[in-house]
Amino acid sequence: SQATTIATTPFADQRPGTSGLRKKVEVFQQRHYLENFIQSIFDSLEGYQGATLVVGGDGRYYNREAIQKILKIAAANGVGRIVIGQSGILSTPAASALIRGLTAFGGIVLSASHNPGGPHGDFGVKYDVANGGPAPEKVTDAIYARTREITSFRIVEAPDVDIDRLGETRVGDMRVDVVDSVGNYKALMQTLFDFDRIRDAFRSGFTFTFDAMSAVTGPYARALFEEELGARPGSVINATPLPDFGGHHPDPNLVHARHLYDLAMSDAAPDLCAASDGDGDRNLIIGRGRFVTPSDSLAILAANATIAPGYRKGIAGLARSMPTSGAADRVAERLGVPLYETPTGWKYFGNLLDAGLVTICGEESAGAGSDHLREKDGLWAVLFWLDILAARKESVDAIVRQHWTTYGRNYYSRHDYEEVASDGAHALIDALRQRLPTLKGQYLGGLEVATADDFAYHDPVDGSDSQHQGLRVIFADGSRIVYRLSGTGTAGATLRVYIERYEPDPARQHMATEAALANLVSLSREIAAIERYTQRAAPSVIT
Ligand code: VG1
Ligand code: CO
């Protein structure tokens, strides 16, 4: 099999967003679209010749076709070896774990995460570096620059690899190993949590429902929860990964996993309901009668971390994305460890984790993780909760309430105005950005503005700076409204508005979130004139 060079022309729209390049499947199916992007990755890297790369995805439509192309392009570019999950399946955290476990050069993860799949759904490609984490901006910028200039790609002509069969084969001179998708990840989880303790809890009647949402976590969840830990068979629902996720939106939030919320609030509620997203890096945690916001979940995991064997030594520090609530800050303060506030997206945690500055990180968007790998990790968060529940032998609700009594409660909500016209959304942000300097000291809705700024991040490890990471209006009482545009969407623009209020008084910690935030919610719409710019009077999704 000979490597050939094929002439191509650039596409103008291959800029990676918050988490890789995400587009409609039809966009990826354009002639040379995927080839250009993969070749641009190689053109931007140095030292991959002869090295090992990990490849896998969440099993969505176009996963298999993409893998065959990637194998042939990698072989033509001189990659030494590719390790693929069986049938092309690797959850995002499992891919991260595998890159680290093999000390591979990097990896290519095929996913559009929580976005719908299928022939008319979304597809995505993300490059992970040697630490197992998403490529930093420096790398994604270089890849994007290359996509704008590319004139050819290299590919070998070879038969397709049978990716369903475990074992070793070759594409051209490159070795290909098809490996079990679950084993390495499962072994890592066993080093972090007390599986005997969780097994005992299930044996004593602890009840649990995990919804894999017909996405990638099904095989992992079955192996871990049912086979290894003894949860009742059938505890894992929607356990078979489907290329179109059964036509659903594999986003574990209160809208797309509503049935799970309803179950948790019903008389038949199990002790714990949980779910993960398309690629397995997000988590949803709902106890009997109690939804745990992702920001609270992060804080509670951190506060209880030493219960789990993997964190017995304590934690070095915490990090959260800027829009994530300040609940974790209070835990860090009490533990006497630093708290880092980063821009949205897991790639910003990589340096902090590599440098040992933080142990646990999280995002309000249902992402939590730790230094065990370099992505957020849905099943890790669920196992962490199971371990804490097994050790404390209290309900989720009791643990959450006790946490608020100790630390105060951060009422929190995110309003998404999805798929609005891109021009209007950008105009809204531009206009508000202009006004920020004038807001300080003003009274809005009876609240004094303490600061209003455009969040920028200085990475303390590599010294890099990231500008324009979200507009913040922070009030004197600590309440906050944050505005930013999504970097993962594939149609129009999505405006995210994050609303938060801190309540230290235990007597006032049990209001409905909508009631507690009502004033701030109307302010959020007025301050940015959301309806004027987006033609939307209300958000499409509230989480
Ligand atoms: C969203 C979330 C962000 C998360 C990103 C990737 O980004 O807000 O917190 O890291 O998705 O998650 P954005 O730019 O749309 O707000 V996943 O599970 O889609 O890899
Ligand atoms: Co995801």
- Give the mean model confidence (pLDDT) for residues 256-268: 97
Spacing, Cα 68 to ligand 1 middle (Å): 27
- Give the mean model confidence (pLDDT) for residues 61-79: 98
Q: pLDDT, tens digit, for every residue of 163-188?
A: 999 999 999 999 999 999 999 999 99
Give the residue, out of 128, 344, 494, with the most ligand 1 atoms within 8 A of its beta carbon, to mutate for a pocket test.
Answer: 344
Position 18 scores a pLDDT of 83
pLDDT range class, residue 1, cuts 50, 70, 90: low
Q: pLDDT, tens digit, for every residue of 430-485?
A: 999 999 999 999 999 999 999 999 999 999 999 999 999 999 999 999 999 999 99
Q: pLDDT, tens digit, for every residue of 500-535?
A: 999 999 999 999 999 999 999 999 999 999 999 999
Which atom of ligand 1 lies closest to the CA of 345? 10
* 318 sits in which H/E element: strand 318-321
Which atom of ligand 1 lies closest to the CA of 375? 20
Spacing, Cα 452 to ligand 2 middle (Å): 30
Residue nearest to atom 16 of ligand 1 (CA): 486
Kindly state the tokens that stand for 394. Answer: 């209290």
Q: pLDDT, tens digit, for every residue of 113-157?
A: 999 999 999 999 999 999 999 998 899 999 999 999 999 999 999
Give the residue, out of 284, 482, 488, 497, with the most ligand 1 atoms within 8 A of its beta carbon, to mutate for a pocket test.
Answer: 488
- Which domains are assigned to the chain? 3-181 (3.40.120.10), 185-407 (3.40.120.10), 409-542 (3.30.310.50)
Taking 70 as the threshold, does the pLDDT of residue 223 lie above it? yes
Q: Is 539 left (phi over 0), alpha (psi -120 to 50) or beta?
A: beta
Kindly state the tokens that stand for 329. Answer: 């800050």
Ligand 1 pocket residues where CB is under 6 Å: 18-19, 113-114, 277, 281-282, 321, 344-346, 363, 365, 367, 486-488, 496
What is the percent of the chain where pLDDT is above 90?
97
Amino acid residing at 183? G
User: Ligand 2 being an ion, which residues bring their Cβ within 5 A of it?
Assistant: 113, 277, 279, 281-282
Which atom of ligand 1 lies closest to the CA of 92? 20
pTM to 2 decimals? 0.96
- Give the mean model confidence (pLDDT) for residues 244-264: 95
Examine the residue annotation and report whether 113 is marked as an active-site residue of this protein: yes
Q: pLDDT, tens digit, for every residue of 18-31?
A: 889 999 999 999 99
Q: pLDDT, tens digit, for every residue of 37-53?
A: 999 999 999 999 999 99
- ipTM for the whole complex: 0.98
DSSP one-letter code for 222: I
Q: Which residues of 304-341 are buried (b: 16+ CB within 10 A; e: fewer)?
A: bbebbebbeeebbbbbbbbbbbbbbbbbbeebebebbb
Give the chain's mean pLDDT: 97
Spacing, Cα 22 to ligand 2 middle (Å): 12
The residue among 234, 248, 239 whose CA lies nearest residue 221 is: 239
Per the model's pLDDT, the better-predicted residue between 17 and 37 turns out to be 37
